[in-house]
A and B are shown apart, each in its own frame.
Chain A
């Protein structure tokens, strides 16, 4: 039997961990680093690069270097989120054959799961090489706020990479598992505040004897450290324009250098009160080269990011309220994600929860550690702790007036079966359309549509008379079955909704083959 691993597939960094001596540890790559940049690139001479190698050449090859793929995974091309990302990245985003977002890299169109597959493959190889053993399966983490489509796309990515997925678990939940393991057995209520590169998540958990129960979770998949970088970039662009009357936005290479410099300055400002940005030969004009030098004060950065941090705190407040809890009920606040190193974040969370947050764990590694604990636990015949996780997004159907009617409300423990009664909207209606959506918006269309079907043969009656029972069954593999039934007539219609990730099975098989043939080439680098 081989080994199991945990993978934190992050927006900016990916981390892989395994269990040794009963404790999780992050697996170093052959170069000794513990984080794999979530970067993928194809060079001019058609070489495929992953991780550090890809990141290193991103400045000189911005159009063919894909990063932040997690922001696109499982998303429709015309979704608001993809359109926002389009304006922020130097590579090209196009519409795929199934309406999914795809990227152009090295002159070829690639699906997002394929890009993520390369990063997962790198993680798997790092683990395989270090452990000198086969990898039997992995637990991969996603933001709690990922919908079924995004989860399925992540599973597809693993499939393409030839990696067996044991479970997909939520990032904050994984952090909590790692924390629990370090703290030993103890009953407590904890809050996990995870502010990463691309997403923000908050979860409240209760640790009991042998059972960890997630009580409530919320977040924003479009709020992260990169948004803070972008604030700083915008500030510098304005400054530059004022000083030189040049719009840097048009210069892809300059923008890439600026992006790097801005992030570096932001990170420096977590431990220092001022940071210098120095970018010689940043751009060329008819008057010659322009060198850019400036000093950013911590105060300035905090002013620029203040409202983003406030948004996270507002989500914390509503989450606590939703769970029927007071701030004082929380025994421990755990900070996770690289962005929580920023003093402003520490200050604001301490202020809100009324206690100093716990920072004893490594915010970059804890998610992968937790995932590795879960992976190990699940394949052992006697798991030491059972994790009860919840759905962060409601599941339901569209009803009269386009409204969304929940069948499985958010924050419900899974697996679960729930039934709700509906009725007809006009007299002698003999069929209804059941359109299944997932999300937390009141209007059905604002949520993610998972599928639809028609129940016909309804008893002819006055409107509002028939009893139509709609039940949702979400199993432990995350597969949703929806059944609609006329309770009086007994007519029934069931569909199994496998979230469409934007890839067909044939496409996945094809990509998997391609990946296997590339694997050797990658290993030889």
Chain B
């Protein structure tokens, strides 16, 4: 039975997996249970626990108890066996408490088991559906055991705050609605409204602050959302608006870069559909569209997609920058493939004139010239 030696959040440098496993270590939860609940499998959990134990974050301890999970562990114990352990146990054993346990102890044990077996706790984990179902049956057992034991005990309330936390005086005033006199009614309504405005201004400022912080850390997406919220709470502050617009631009250029990168990878992986999807999204947010137009045209051409679309994008790129010989060269090849030699010839000549003086182009031009002449 693994047991904690250190406060889990005081341990730095853990992987997500390790953190996850560690979060379940409480001296009561068995290896099998951890493996099942995390969905990592017994071997990985074992490895992680060994590492943690090596780093003296946890230790392995055996403690005799009536808890089903504490039965001697056999390697490879299946979840069915785990269910069987709970199936055949009495309510005390299910919750892992002694028979003389008090209400507090029972409740505490119940909360612990709930955190482990309640369906919400592994909703998003990669536990197989069948196992989720079995874990749910265990939860039902836990719930049943708790109901039985709870009802055999006088009800006890968790120790709540003995001293009531003081309310802010302003709120208390509003909470005691003394009958208002007509003369003050208007004033009070105004008071209410100005309170609401104050609240919005405060919220706006809070989001602005968080937004600017994200801004400093180059997390423009987060900055943008916060600044947008600040704006929606307080649309009158020009500063909020400007910063929001700035963040929006930066976020978009961040996203643009990322999309181009993803498109390049997709091309490399021979996935033209993905590449086109990324490029089209990038096209939507790009401020300077010529590069993305050219890339789109290339992908469409290289992977034998719609030539018409390729032509349109390439023409758009040329419109935006008529001086780039690469753009004309691509357009020439598109025309050639589409069976339009005259147009192709014109575009090859353009790229030649713009400085692309390769032998290849010269030969193409020669061939096309004779072809155009022959066809009359």
Contact indicator per residue, chain B 134-173, by CB within 8 Å of chain A (1) or not (0) = 0011011001100100000001011111000001000110
On whether A383 and B235 interact (CB within 8 A), knowing A188-B161, A413-B143, A476-B136, the answer reads: no
Quick check: B225 and A210 within 8 Å, CB to CB? no
Contact with A along B106-134 (1 / 0, CB 8 A): 01000100110011110111000000000
Contact A271 B192 (CB under 8 A): yes
Pairwise interchain contact B111-A347, C-beta atoms closer than 8 A = no
Segment among A47-55, A355-363, A455-463 that sits at the interface with chain B: A355-363
CB distance from A171 to the nearest CB of B (A): 18
Contact B123 A359 (CB under 8 A): no
Bitwise, B186-199 to A at CB < 8 A (1) or not (0) is 10110010000000
With A211-B115, A272-B189, A359-B174 already in contact, the answer to whether A378 and B182 are too (CB < 8 A) is no
28 CB contacts below 8 A, A to B, read: A20-B226, A28-B229, A28-B232, A130-B228, A188-B160, A188-B161, A211-B111, A211-B114, A268-B189, A272-B186, A343-B177, A350-B175, A359-B171, A359-B174, A360-B167, A378-B120, A379-B123, A380-B124, A381-B125, A382-B19, A382-B20, A413-B143, A415-B136, A415-B139, A415-B143, A416-B144, A475-B136, A476-B136
- Contact between chains at B177 and A210 (CB < 8 Å): no
Given contacts A274-B182, A359-B171, A381-B125, 11 further A-B contacts (CB under 8 A): A130-B228, A206-B157, A273-B180, A325-B155, A331-B161, A378-B123, A383-B121, A413-B143, A416-B143, A416-B144, A476-B119
Q: Please provide the 5 A-B residue pairs with the shortest distance between their CB atoms, ordered closest to farther.
A: A476-B119, A272-B185, A187-B158, A28-B232, A343-B177
The residues of A that contact B155 with a CB separation of less than 8 Å are: 324-325
A415 engages B115 (CB within 8 Å): no
- Give the contacts of A163-201 with B (CB-CB under 8 A): 166-167, 186-189
- Alpha-carbon gap, A273 to B144, bound state (A): 53
* Residues in chain B near residue A131, CB distance under 8 A: 225
Per DSSP, chain B at the interface is helix
Find B120's partner among A21, A325, A360, A386 (CB 8 Å cutoff): A386
Q: Is the CB of B188 within 8 A of A271?
A: yes
- A2 at interface by CB-CB < 8 Å: no
A346 touches B114 (CB 8 A): no
CA distance A360 to B140 in the complex (A): 36
Within 8 A of B (CB), among A8-58: 20-21, 25, 28, 32
Contacts of B186 in A (CB 8 A): 272
User: Separation in Å of the B16 CB from the closest CB of chain A?
Assistant: 8
- Contact between B124 and A386 (Cβ–Cβ < 8 Å)? no
CB neighbours of B161 from chain A (8 A): 186, 188, 331
Are the C-beta atoms of B23 and A356 separated by less than 8 Å? no
Q: Closest CB of chain B to A185's CB: distance in Å?
A: 12
Query: Which chain B residues border A475 with CB–CB below 8 Å?
Result: 119, 136
> Taking the nearest CB of chain B, how far is it from the CB of A438, in angstroms?
19
Give every chain B residue within 8 A of A107 (Cβ-Cβ): none
B250 surroundings in chain A (CB, below 8 A) = none
Task: Assess whether A321 is interfacial by the CB under 8 Å rule.
Answer: no
Q: How many whole Å from B177's CB to the nearest CB in chain A?
A: 4
The bracket for how many chain B residues form the interface is: 35 or more
In the complex, residue of chain A having the shortest beta-carbon distance to the beta carbon of B192: A271
List of A residues within 8 angstroms of B48 by Cβ: none
* A-side contacts of B185, CB under 8 Å: 271-274
B residues in contact (CB < 8 Å) with A: 19-20, 23, 107, 111, 114-115, 118-121, 123-125, 136-137, 139-140, 143-144, 147, 155, 157-161, 167, 171-172, 174-177, 179-182, 185-186, 188-189, 192, 210, 222, 225-226, 228-229, 232, 235
What distance in Å separates the Cβ of A481 from its nearest Cβ neighbour in chain B? 12
Establish whether residues B232 and A32, one from each chain, have CB atoms under 8 Å apart when the complex forms: yes
| Min distance, Cβ A371 to any Cβ of chain B, angstroms | 14
| Cβ distance A399 to chain B, nearest Cβ, rounded Å | 23
Min CB–CB distance A173 → chain B (angstroms): 12
Could you tell me the distance between the alpha carbons of A347 and B210 in the complex, rounded to whole angstroms?
38
Q: Does A387 contact B (CB under 8 A)?
A: yes
Once the chains bind, are A381 and B20 in contact (CB under 8 Å)? yes
Contact of B140 among A324, A378, A416 (CB under 8 A): A416
Tell me the complex Cα distance, A357–B180, Å: 20
| B192 lies within 8 A of A21 (CB) | no
Cα–Cα distance between A25 and B160 once the two chains are bound (Å): 28
Q: Contacts A211-B115, A347-B177 hold; do A417 and B140 have CB atoms under 8 A apart?
A: yes
Pick from B107, B182, B229: contact of A25, CB under 8 Å? B229
Measured CA separation A219–B132 after assembly (Å): 33
Interface-centre pick from B19, B120, B174 (highest chain A CB count, 10 A)? B120
Check B111–A272 contact: CB distance below 8 A: no
In the complex, A25→B222 CA distance in Å?
14
Residues of A within 8 A of B137 (CB): 417
Q: Which residue of A lies closest to B20 (CB)?
A: A382
- Given the known interface contacts A20-B226, A32-B232, A130-B228, the answer about A476 and B120 at a Cβ–Cβ threshold of 8 Å is yes
Instruction: Say yes or no: A415-B119 contact (C-beta < 8 A), given A274-B182, A331-B161, A382-B20.
Output: yes
**Contacts A206-B158, A378-B123, A416-B140 known; A359 to B175 CB distance under 8 Å?**
yes
A351 to chain B, nearest CB (A): 12
| Docked pose: A274 CA to B179 CA in angstroms | 12
Judge if A208 is at the interface, Cβ distance under 8 Å.
yes
- A356-B172 in contact (CB<8A): yes
CB atoms of B235 and A32 under 8 A apart? yes
Is the CB–CB distance between B158 and A388 below 8 Å? no
Nearest chain B CB to A336 CB, angstrom units: 15
Residues of B within 8 A of A360 (CB): 167, 171
CA distance A387 to B174 in the complex (A): 32
Pair A189/B232 contact, Cβ less than 8 Å: no
Q: A329-B157, A331-B160 are in contact. Are A357 and B114 (CB under 8 A)?
A: no
Decide: A189 and B160 in contact? CB cutoff 8 A: yes
Contacts of B225 in A (CB 8 A): 20, 131
Complex Cα distance, B153 from A324, in Å, reads 12
CA distance A386 to B20 in the complex (A): 16
Residues of B close to A350: CB separation below 8 A: 175
Cα A13 to Cα B158 in complex, Å, equals 36
Q: A377–B107 Cα gap in the complex (Å)?
A: 23
Is A239 located at the chain interface by the 8 A CB criterion? no
Min C-beta distance of A31 to chain B, whole Å: 10
Q: Which residues of B contact A329 (CB under 8 A)?
A: 157
Verify if A452 is at the interface (C-beta below 8 Å from B).
Answer: no
In angstroms, Cα B137 to Cα A372, docked, is 27
